[in-house]
Amino acid sequence: MLSQDIIEWPDEVETLIDQLEGEAAERALTRPERALLDIYETVPILQSEDCLHEFWQSGIDQQRIINSFELIGASTLVDPLNASRWCETRPEDRGDYSETESKHLATIEEELAEGMSDLIDLVLDFIEEEME
């Protein structure tokens, strides 16, 4: 991934996530609650060295994650996630990509990095509108 500022969640988000993680064992989370957890858990993957390749190679429910980003209004992240869907069928090692594939993925990851800059504000707005 391109160098970018690592997202540091505000205390309000961290507290809510801790609360939701605790409650998840006791009850089914609502869709907005699940979306927040999805996003919180996925950001480290999207900020990792293998970024979108790791996202598509992981065992997570990628479509649910994409829907979660869509739910909070993060279309600037949904578009790159969808554009990189082809990574799901690629070799497990990102080093096995062709030069063209690597360049294409790097371009998509640039778009993703730009979209990540607004994520904290989108999450805070979502919490204010949907969770309180």
Model confidence pLDDT, tens digit, residues 55-85: 999 989 999 999 999 999 999 999 999 999 9
Whose tokens are 């979502």? That residue is: 126
Dihedral sign computed on CA atoms, order 47, 52, 57, 61:
positive
CA distance 79 to 109: 11
Q: Output the average pLDDT for the chain.
A: 92
Q: What is the pLDDT of residue 75?
A: 92
Q: What is the pLDDT of residue 6?
A: 86
Segments of the chain with pLDDT less than 70? 1-4, 132
